[in-house]
Amino acid sequence: MVQAIAAQRPSPVPKPRLRELGVYALPDGREFVVSTIYRDGCSLYTPRAWAAFGTAEYWIDRDGRLLHQGVPSIWSVRDLKDTGKSASYPKPVLR
């Protein structure tokens, strides 16, 4: 009986692993640099914001939702497509 019940449950879909400094695109064509150094999620930066030590556009929570300023957006981590490109860490600006 337990086996029959277990067979009816949908198996969880594994979340894609994002690459640190990987460049990913949303279906609308916008590209983002991913920073995965955080324990409870990761952040997405526009390439321009990343290069200028700017703020993240989106936060990806543990459930795979993309949050914009703390509010769930229409996107999830499954919507991101790896472009195959990688960013590098911004160079510090010394004055």
Rounded (to 5) percent helix, strand, coil in the chain: 15, 35, 50
Whether 12 maps to a domain, the answer reads no
The number of distinct structural domains making up the chain is 1
Question: Is residue 13 scored above 50 in pLDDT?
Answer: no
Instruction: State which residues form the domain around 29.
Output: 17-83
Whether 48 maps to a domain, the answer reads yes
Whether 88 maps to a domain, the answer reads no
The predicted-structure confidence for 41-92, as pLDDT tens digits, reads as follows 899 999 999 999 999 999 999 899 999 999 999 999 999 999 999 999 988 8
Model's pTM, two decimal places?
0.79
pLDDT at 20: 96
Whether 33 maps to a domain, the answer reads yes
Alpha carbons 58 and 72: distance in angstroms, whole number: 9
CATH code of the domain containing 42: 2.40.220
